[in-house]
Amino acid sequence: MKIPREHPRYLSLKERHKLVEGYRDGVTALAGLIAHGRGEAFDYLIGEKTIPPAVNAIKAGVAALLLADSPVISVNGNTAALCPTEIVELSKIVGAKIEINLFYRSQDRIKKIREILIKNGADEVYGVTPTKEISGISSERRWADKDGIYSSDVVLVPLEDGDRTEALVNSGKKVIAIDLNPLSRTSLTASITIVDNVTRAVPIMIKIAEEMRGWDNSELRRVLASFDNYKNLREVLLAIKTRLEEMDFPLQ
């Protein structure tokens, strides 16, 4: 389907189209479409743009990835359908592995997501035949590659569920979430929560990582140490509140 560029909801329609195609191709799960809808609702509330607290979280997240010994980016069906090129680019800049992790896990979906990532430049994709389990997760998301997420110290989880975020944090890992819902269990449990659309956040992470990878570790540590996730989430809620209070009609 061709979406006219001048359509006022062009970007949103394009994202939906990618997910619908992803579903038809067996990459995105049906429930992934619903999860996207939940995200879209929150995107309206933040104004469909990257707000300052998200930029602060992105800086902290990039610092954590650059300082990590063994960082991993976790990829699910929605992320693979929405921004595979950017995920691969980010992984190369920060030196992170990429691991597939699915709630609705099937070898067929894993194979398809792996193909997308490889087609977009990934050299290696973990999580195809994982042998380890992260304790505290009952779903299929418990599976972890022994050389990937299982032995990682920092994990980036775009569009995650709260159970796995909590279990990863409990297993001693630093968890960076990208989640449009500042009230989700994921957002509240992660070490660093980037409240933004994954399609906007990852390109900004790439830009910031290009700049920050030239920094000393002491500077990166300073950025990380000055970040407080609850404080940042409060700033997100305040930004939403202020935006709603200041809205006038006709809406702009």
User: Contact residues for ligand ATP (CB under 6 A)?
Assistant: 35-36, 38-39, 42, 159, 161-162, 178-181, 184-186, 197-198
CB closer to ligand ATP out of 220 and 236 = 236
DSSP-derived letter for residue 184 is: S
CB closer to ligand ATP out of 109 and 220 = 109
Q: Which residue is nearest to ligand ATP (CB)?
A: 39
Tokens matching residue 252: 């702009």
CB closer to ligand ATP out of 15 and 145 = 15
User: What is the closest distance, in whole angstroms, from the C-beta atom of residue 133 to ligand ATP in the complex?
Assistant: 19
CB closer to ligand ATP out of 162 and 203 = 162
User: What is the closest distance, in whole angstroms, from the C-beta atom of residue 93 to ligand ATP in the complex?
Assistant: 20
User: What is the closest distance, in whole angstroms, from the C-beta atom of residue 16 to ligand ATP in the complex?
Assistant: 10
CB closer to ligand ATP out of 62 and 220 = 62
User: What is the closest distance, in whole angstroms, from the C-beta atom of residue 69 to ligand ATP in the complex?
Assistant: 27
User: What is the closest distance, in whole angstroms, from the C-beta atom of residue 186 to ligand ATP in the complex?
Assistant: 3
Instruction: Determine the Cα angle at 11 with ends 10 and 16, to 5°.
Output: 95
User: Which contacts of 155-158 are long-range, i.e. CB under 8 A and separated by 24 or more positions?
Assistant: 155/71, 155/72, 155/73, 155/74, 156/61, 156/65, 156/71, 156/72, 156/73, 156/74, 156/96, 157/74, 157/186, 157/190, 158/73, 158/74, 158/75, 158/76, 158/78, 158/79, 158/87, 158/198, 158/201, 158/202
